[in-house]
């Protein structure tokens, strides 16, 4: 079960990055073209929001059952770069990125000025995506 979840989490990350990039690019294009913030734009942003939360759920399950996750938390593990990445840096940074994306979606969902709604998605999805990209364990990521 652990190996299957680990593979699912790794390969879904590719899909997540593609969905987030698409949501962000779509919002930028619609904003630049001065199109109204429609239900379609909100739904595209929602897909990115859902993808990040699905990945978070799988990641949290992995964190609890993984031998390099929560059960490995110790002062010795903090001295090892790779262990610290799995125990602390990766989960914490991903949660921060997902919080940023959530804030952007929630703020954009509220009725109001279309420019403000687009800017919220563009700003917070960009920040969230950058934070996520910073702490992906690239050295062990499947290619």
- pLDDT tens per residue, range 78-107: 888 888 888 889 999 999 999 999 999 999
Task: Report the predicted TM-score, pTM, of the whole model to 2 decimal places.
Answer: 0.91
Domains of the chain: which residue ranges?
2-140
Q: Using pLDDT thresholds of 50, 70 and 90, give the confidence band for residue 115.
A: very high
Q: Residue 101's pLDDT is what?
A: 98
Q: Using the 8-state DSSP alphabet, how is residue 87 labeled?
A: I
Asked whether the predicted pLDDT for residue 110 surpasses 60, the reply is yes
Position 71 scores a pLDDT of 76
Residues in contact with 26: Cβ distance below 8 Å, sequence separation at least 6, in sequence order = 41, 44
Look at 51-60, 85-94, 118-127 and tell me which has the smallest mean pLDDT. Answer: 85-94
112 sits in the region (left: phi over 0; alpha: psi -120 to 50; else beta) called left
């Amino acid at each position: 079960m652990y190996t299957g979840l680990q593979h699912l989490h790794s390969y879904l990350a590719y899909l997540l990055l593609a969905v987030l990039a698409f949501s962000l690019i779509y919002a930028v294009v619609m904003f630049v073209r001065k199109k109204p913030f429609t239900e379609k734009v909100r739904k595209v942003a929602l897909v990115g929001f859902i993808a990040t939360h699905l990945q978070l759920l799988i990641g949290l399950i992995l964190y609890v059952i993984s031998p390099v996750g929560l059960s490995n938390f110790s002062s010795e593990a903090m001295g090892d770069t790779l262990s610290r990445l799995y125990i602390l840096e990766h989960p914490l940074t991903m949660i921060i990125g997902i919080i940023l994306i959530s804030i952007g979606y929630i703020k954009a969902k509220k009725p109001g000025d279309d420019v403000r709604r687009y800017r919220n998605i563009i700003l917070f999805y960009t920040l969230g995506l950058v934070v996520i990209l910073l702490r992906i364990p690239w050295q062990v990521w499947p290619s």
